[in-house]
Every structure is written in C-alpha cells, then in structure tokens.
Chain A
C-alpha cells in the first residue's frame, strides 16, 4: 500500500526567511507523481508544485522548489523569501501513473505560520 508521511505537524518561519517542509512516501511503483498542495485557512486547496518521478530535475515554481530523492523516497518543499500569504496547511500527496485512476494519497499535513 502507498503511504505518505509528513513528520512536522507545525512549523513557523519569519517573513523573508526560508523554510523546508519534509515528506516521505512509500510505494513499490516506479512511475508516479508527487505534489504539494496548500490549504489556506477556510480557503480552497490549491496546487503548489508537482514532480514526475521519471524526471531527475527538481521542480521549481517561483519561490517554491522541491528536493526529490527517489531512492530515499523523500520529497521536501522549500519556500524561499516566505511571505505572510504563505501561512497555510501544506499537504504532500502522491499518485501513481495518470493511466490509473489518479487518486491522491495525502500526508497528514504541516501547518506553516509565517511571522511578520
């Protein structure tokens, strides 16, 4: 069975600083996708960044980047130049190849607070 583990329930960071959120996963599949989703308080969940397992290059989206270590089954999210609007719950998620159902398996989440 596939599982996703986020070991940091809560984190905080000063505005403009950098923070890294951890995620590990377990699967026997070789072709899969990894995601980080952001869920602001009382707002919709939105996709932050995605990584295809077959790509060796780490994905980057503006201030957000990932460190994907396939052998270690690790997928951490780095937020640079943190902004107050980054305050949210962050979920790491996993799905096997899109040719399958595409259902997401989520971690427990990390609540991030950005302090002014």
Chain B
C-alpha cells in the first residue's frame, strides 16, 4: 500500500451517464496527478494540481472531463456524458516538491486506480 487511495475501485456505467472518481493522496503531498491507462499501455498524463490549483491539463482531457482539488486535499475527476472510449483505468498519484522525512522530492506514489467500463 502506497498510502494513496482511490474510490471506487471499479465502476460500470452506461454510455451517456456521468461518473465521478475520488483520490485521497498522502497527506503531506502538495502535488497530485491524474493519469489514464488503457489495457496493455503505459499511463498517460491527464492533469496536475499543486495544492488546490490546477496548473496543467493534457489535450487528452476533453471538455467532458473536469477535475478539482478543493482545499488542496482530496481530488475528484468527473467525466460527463461517458463514451465507450473512456473505458480505462484512471490512476491518481501524489508527490511532494520538498524532501520530507523519507519521502523523496518528485517521487510519485500511485493509488490502486479506478477501472471504468462504459457499456
């Protein structure tokens, strides 16, 4: 267990429905990332938060996707009007920009992911 949790672990939804995923990072971490991983591929960057500010979004993140990190703690990723092409594993990771105890700067710790299936 890396200390990063995600909920739910699995989500099956029908095309056109909205879904929301939650990520709880390691508490000392000020950086939070969302990635998408399709079967047999490496994760692809979606978006990045430093504290509560969303500082970068990938072109992969269409206008149907929105992410928030209120108060710089947990984060949510919402997909509106889901499409079959959205089926993937959504991974959250957190890191710190400072060296804290045994945690190395910029070392990302990943959650277990939320597997989304759109039928």
Question: Which residues of chain A have a CB within 8 Å of any CB of chain B?
Answer: 4, 6, 33, 37, 43-47, 50, 91, 93, 95, 98, 101-109
Contacts and interface: CB of A to CB of B under 8 A. Distances in A.
Interface stretch (B41-49, B63-71, B79-87): B41-49
B104 A50 contact: yes
B43 A98 contact: no
A103 B33 contact: yes
12 contacts: A6-B42, A44-B2, A45-B91, A93-B42, A101-B56, A103-B48, A104-B43, A106-B43, A107-B42, A109-B40, A109-B41, A109-B42
Interface in B29-61: 31, 33, 35, 40-45, 48, 50, 55-56
Interface residues of B, number: 30
A42 to B, nearest CB: 9
A98 B42 contact: no
Contact of B112 (A6, A43, A101, A107): A43
Given A45-B91, A91-B42, A102 B106 contact: yes
Contacts of B43: 45, 91, 104, 106
A102 B108 contact: yes
A102 B97 contact: yes
A106 B45 CA distance: 9
A105 B45 CA distance: 7
Interface in B87-119: 91, 93, 95, 97, 104-113
